[in-house]
Chains A and B, each alone.
Chain A
Amino acid sequence: MKELKILAIIVVLVLIGYWGIEPLAHSIMHKHVEEAIKKYNLPDFKFSDLDPLPSGVKGNAEAGKETVKAFCVSCHSLKKEGINAPMPSQAAAQSFGVVPPDLSNIGGILDEKYLYNFLKNPQKATENPKFSMPALGLNDQQIMDIVAYLKSIAKKNITGEDVVKEGCVRCHSIKYQKISAVSPADTMKKYLGKVPPDLSVIYKAKGEEYLDAFINKPQAIIPGTGMPRVGLSQEAQEKALAYLDEISDPHKEQRQKVGLLVLAYLAVMVGLTFAWKKKIWKNIH
């Protein structure tokens, strides 16, 4: 059949073109991302570059509570225990660049090993030399107590929305969910170099692979970025990404359903129009 041959040529040419402008172009333009992902094996939820948890030191949540009260609440709020922030957020943002997070649920979204390293040396753990929180000079026992305490009070069965609200919206707005960043734009600009992007449709703009790697180790993807490594645990990050996907594309299910109906309808049309063509052309050749 000559016509099928022509169709085959068109299909081949279109597929070559599609391959060129989509997968090929993507792989070349995003080479640095692919390389970083390979080099650091991202997302790396083992946080291999950080120190291991101290062996033989077991955290005590009761003791941790006291340590937190002694060391943390001079800057952080702990709403679960009825402790409010010592400064209004505007003033806190002026002093620190961003508003310090509430500690109620932080133990539920951050990785344990990361949290240990963070409390030891925040600048190293976040890979952000300008990070506001200072190292507190705590010993391993005190740190593990704090970790045990924060984990014990954190909300169980945390959702993706919770993770994003706890972990992201101190800096990022999510306009389409009517969420604006806790910290004011001007102090963040001074502190981070630019106003962090809105997250409403960030999932469509960046894609899962990129976000999964970037959130896990920002400096590997954009060297020098103001975004700190926040150290989400694997579970928390997966939930956060699922949430960002959902809010950027809320009609996914409807699209699949309507799509199948439309294609089924058109398949019937193909059959009917083919039958009509046969009928009209019966006496033509």
Chain B
Amino acid sequence: MEKKGGFMNWLDRRLAVDALWRIMMSEYYLPKNINFLWSFGVLTMLVFAILVVSGIFLLMYYKPDAELAFDSVNKTIMMDVAFGWVFRHTHAVAASIMFLVLFIHIARGMYYGSYKAPREVVWITGFLLFVLMSATAFTGYLLPWGQMSYWAAQTITTLFEKIPFIGPDLVIWIRGNYIVADATLTRFFALHVVFLPLLLIVVTAVHLYAVRIVGSNNEDGIPMTKEEKKVKGIPFWPVFMAKEYFVMSVFLLFFFYLVFFNYSFAMDPINFQPADYLQTPPHIYPEWYFLAFYEVLRGFFFSQNLGLIAFVASMFIILFMPWLDTSPIVSGKRRPLYKIAFWIFIADFLFLTILGKLPPTGLYAWLGFVGSIVFFLFFIALPIISKIEKSQVERTGR
């Protein structure tokens, strides 16, 4: 970039690429006291790129039609097309791993207080990305038109029936039919391959832009001053990215191990049976990344309406963390009470995820109820912990 060569110079005068490069990369400074968890943001973009590329190849042979979809995936792509199976495995595993990376990325933000002022917009756009990614995964899961595809879509779309007044009509509007059928498949296809990815790209741009403005958080939650940045900070390029490439390589090693040798977790066996609207499978469950939220839905087993409200709340409450937690201390590292609450929350999320796949009967139903309550207790505890910490800071002055 230093060299003012012919072409770069020409381009710079027209697009100001030098300034853009400086702002986005070489003079965007990150604090030094960050660990590899800060690499997960770029990892989500790597996985997104993998999803887009593998998705485009799948798109060349996939047929969005209730009569053809299952065979186009399981025969054409998996058996007939040269290396078609690589792209399908890669796409399925990447969809699953995207959520693992997202969860770690979000948990890192929660632990170190990255949602706090002035990073609210980063948090909100990040939350939007999570919701959009969930919608993309949900619509994409219907496309192979297997039994689990079908019945997961049927079950989740049925939830909308409970919305007062418009519910039943809304369900038919979403499905384009009285049951999940060809019309549902084609509209989910449109959303999955065009609309949602486009939105994801736009919101990602805003997310990255917002981070460039407010800067990355760090382990201690104490921001660098403008003067400190050049002395104490590390530039995004090449220093941070040098580490990022190493993290990416390790991640890809793990990722492609899953793609080639341990992919079955991302491909439910029941989905190798074609969709049949007359035959409900004995157990219906979503992919693993929705299990915790699904368990909150089932946790209030005594009232469907309450369960539905809790389900929606469980997905959206995290958006309000910047306003629930008003403690002046940013990083969880220096907040003993918050730390306890955080780890209980993480353990509970894992607990709900495991429970979400088990049949909701007997003891499991009650455990699900307890787990759901603990899930919300974390968010109820936030204002209380904030209040305690505020008075502590006022008393001790730090």
Known: A20-B354, A263-B260, A277-B245. A6 touches B269 (CB 8 A): no
- Report the separation of the CA atoms of residues A284 and B235 in the bound assembly, to the nearest whole angstrom: 11
A-contacting residues, B69-111, CB 8 Å: 71, 74-75, 78-79, 83, 85-86, 100, 104
- Report the separation of the CA atoms of residues A14 and B350 in the bound assembly, to the nearest whole angstrom: 9
Task: Check B337 for interface membership: any CB of A closer than 8 A.
Answer: no
Closest to B242 in A: A280
Verify A29–B246 contact, CB threshold 8 A: no
Q: Closest Cβ of chain A: how far from B347's Cβ, in Å? A: 9
Known: A6-B36, A176-B79. A205 touches B260 (CB 8 A): no
Known: A7-B36, A276-B242, A277-B245. A259 touches B260 (CB 8 A): yes
- Report the separation of the CA atoms of residues A72 and B35 in the bound assembly, to the nearest whole angstrom: 78
Determine the main DSSP class of B at the interface with A.
Answer: helix
Closest to A28 in B: B358
A-contacting residues, B31-45, CB 8 Å: 32, 35-37
Verify B269–A273 contact, CB threshold 8 A: no
Interface size class for chain A? 35 or more
Task: Check A80 for interface membership: any CB of B closer than 8 A.
Answer: no
- Report the separation of the CA atoms of residues A21 and B291 in the bound assembly, to the nearest whole angstrom: 9
Task: Check A2 for interface membership: any CB of B closer than 8 A.
Answer: yes
Task: Check A175 for interface membership: any CB of B closer than 8 A.
Answer: yes
- Report the separation of the CA atoms of residues A274 and B273 in the bound assembly, to the nearest whole angstrom: 44
A250 cross-chain contacts in B, Cβ below 8 A: 79
Interface 1/0s, chain A 236-269, versus B by CB < 8 A?
Answer: 0000000000001011000110110011001101
B291 cross-chain contacts in A, Cβ below 8 A: 21
B261 cross-chain contacts in A, Cβ below 8 A: 259
Verify A197–B354 contact, CB threshold 8 A: no
A197 cross-chain contacts in B, Cβ below 8 A: 273
- Report the separation of the CA atoms of residues A13 and B37 in the bound assembly, to the nearest whole angstrom: 15
Max count, chain B CB within 10 A of own CB: residue among A7, A13, A272: A13
Q: List B residues at the A interface (Cβ < 8 Å).
A: 32, 35-37, 71, 74-75, 78-79, 83, 85-86, 100, 104, 234, 238-239, 242-243, 245-246, 248-250, 252-253, 256-257, 259-261, 265, 267, 269-270, 272-274, 282-283, 288, 291, 346, 350, 353-354, 357-359
> Could you jot down 13 A-B contacts, CB within 8 Å?
A17-B353, A20-B357, A29-B359, A198-B274, A205-B273, A251-B78, A262-B256, A270-B249, A273-B245, A273-B248, A274-B249, A276-B245, A281-B243
